[in-house]
Amino acid sequence: MDARSARSLLFAPQEAWRPHHVALAAMSPAACLLPYKESGPARVLPRPCLRSTHPARRNDRLPQSSMAVSTAQTGESRHSSTFASRYVRTALPRFRIPEQSIPKEAAYQIINDELMLDCNPRLNLASFVTTWMEPECDKLMMAAINKNYVNMDEYPVTTELQNRCVNMIAHLFNAPIGDDETAVGVGTVGSSEAIMLAGLAFKRKWQNRRKAEGKPYDKPNIVTGANVQVCWEKFARYFEVELKEVKLTEGYYVMNPEKAVEMVDENTICVAAILGSTLTGEFEDVKLLNDLLTAKNAETGWDTPIHVDAASGGFIAPFIYPELEWDFRLPLVKSINVSGHKYGLVYAGVGWVIWRTKDDLPDELIFHINYLGADQPTFTLNFSKGSNQIIAQYYQLIRLGFEGYKDIMQNCRDNATVLREGIEKMGYFEVVSKDSGVPLVAFSLRDSSRYTVFEVAESLRRFGWILPAYTMPADAEHVAVMRVVIREDFGRGLAERLIADLGKVMADMDAHAAKKAEPGKKSVHQIEKEVTTYWRRLVDRKKGSLVC
């Protein structure tokens, strides 16, 4: 059958080409891809011929493979795939934009292939950030991916969803507002931006108060623990605020409230407490800090407030530790930030900052713009940003409700307990994280003389697990730990698998350490050299004993 006959057969009814099916099946795969030209350049057609003669497959019309490359664009063979094209034979651009375009299929395939070398995000146990969401939420996010949140007048419903999220989170944190009263807060791209905004509000309020009192206002400081996330250091450096850190001690890896209050002076704009330390997951004692600071304010006449960095713990404590007082129930807590993309259960890119009242956010920090169609207040470091994370947060809040969040956090805590007990039973490790707090397990080696936690973490990578190993901040730098963060998608089965794989790694580490400790075996060359040396010495002694 020639090409013209096969082409006419392709566009004929099914019944017309069924008798020729066997003949077509005998053709090579290349012959099944027939070029045709009605108008415009030639292209590759979906294959009409199927090698199987199964009746259920006779009506198949498979779409063109994503690997196929357009003949008109490339000048390559008509049946060429990406892997048979020139695009995989040249180095990828790294510094300059390429001069020529490439087909979309080739661009996708090449980038996708490189991305295969990234680790599986769900096995990345270093991260607190959400790595799984329901397909329905994925659809909502993709539908909104082209919406710029800053266009509030054009996307009023999206703006309304953000306001609803702010209200819900403010009530969750026991803000002193009525049921129908609008809360003061804003969505951000993460807790880093939220902390910057809260810090700026504290700095400006402190400066205004000092100006009104006729006192210097050029040396603000902030008191934190040495265990704070790096965003606090960024805030201090970028906005010229001295960072006064309470040093850690072995066995106590969070800020000591008593030492923190001792460091407070008239230039302190706020004390930052952490609800969920990045290092160990532990909650700092915000209640004790509030009481001690209240007493010091009364004694000195100062008005030093508290900010709570609840990036990790803000969506945990209200659900499984409701009796814990850490939020706006404490009078000195003026603002709280939380990461929606951590235990708020949204993909990376959303955070929240909530203020106690309108008086805690100076009006002079709020900008008003009208060039997008209407007067719009804005208080963010970023301007343009996506809407899909805001929408996803609202989805999770109404989809899960209080009951759903509580169930998920309890599951995370229970799985953390299983993992903790399994690690302790091995006998190699000492768990340094607490039973309460963020559901994670941080542990150190009891004996680091033969191998380190860094070597253990590296060995676990061969099973696909990504665990961070790090040293504690000052003054506990000599303590090195590993950490496993338990997220929603880390179930009991994965916990048991990690325990088993960790056991295999430790057995291998022991065997390797024992082998290194054995006296080294002599090589063949060393043995030959020793034998030769022995015989030479023996001959020399014989020669010396001869008498002429």
- Report how far residue 525's alpha carbon sits from residue 393's, in angstroms, rounded to the nearest whole number: 69
Distance CA 454, CA 477 (A): 14
CB 283 within 8 A of CB 326: yes
> pLDDT tens digit string along 287-331?
999 999 999 999 999 999 999 999 999 999 999 999 999 999 999
- The average pLDDT across 260-269 equals 98
Helices (H), 186-247: 191-212, 230-238
Do 272 and 315 touch, CB atoms closer than 8 A? no
Average pLDDT over residues 385-403: 97
| Residue bearing the bigger pLDDT, 1 or 38 | 1
pTM of the model: 0.80
Confidence of residue 544 (pLDDT cuts 50, 70, 90): low
Percentage of residues in the chain having pLDDT higher than 70: 80
pLDDT in the model for residue 71: 47
For 502-511, the CB contacts below 8 A with 24+ separation are: 502/423, 502/426, 502/456, 502/460, 503/426, 504/463, 505/456, 505/459, 505/460, 505/463, 506/426, 506/428, 506/456, 508/459, 509/450, 509/451, 509/455, 509/456, 509/459, 510/450
Asked if 46 and 63 count as a contact pair (C-beta separation under 8 A), the reply is yes
DSSP bridge partners of 481: 470
Tell which residue, 125, 51, 109, has the closest CA to residue 465. 125
Q: Rounded to whole angstroms, what are the CA distances from 259 to 175, 245, 270, 306, 420?
A: 28, 10, 15, 15, 31
Q: Quick one: DSSP state of residue 87?
A: G
What does the block give as tokens for 350?
A: 């959303």
Average of per-residue pLDDT across 378-406: 95
Which residues are CB-neighbours of 134 under 8 A, at least 6 positions away?
399
The helix/strand/coil state of 466 is: strand
> Is 450 exposed, middle or buried (CB count within 10 Å of its CB: 0-12, 13-18, 19+)?
middle
Per-residue pLDDT band for 239 (boundaries 50, 70, 90) equals very high
> Is 60 exceeded by the pLDDT of residue 41?
no
Task: State both tokens at 153.
Answer: 């007048």
Check whether 38 has a pLDDT greater than 80. no
Dist. CA 378–CA 384, nearest whole Å: 11
What's the pLDDT score for residue 154?
87
Give the Å distances, CA to CA, from 220 to 143, 355, 393.
45, 21, 35
Instruction: Print the SS3 string covering 482-526.
Output: EEEECCCCCCHHHHHHHHHHHHHHHHHHHHHHHHHHCCCCCCHHH
Which amino acid makes up residue 469?
A: A
pLDDT tens digits along 135-187: 999 999 999 999 999 888 889 999 999 999 999 999 999 999 998 899 999 99
- How far apart are the C-alpha atoms of 279 and 442, rounded to whole Å? 8
90 pLDDT band, cuts 50/70/90, is: confident
Residue 151 has a pLDDT of 84
Please list the alpha-helical segments (H only) found in 337-472: 388-426, 453-460
> What is the tens place of the pLDDT at every residue in 493-520?
999 999 999 999 999 999 999 887 766 6
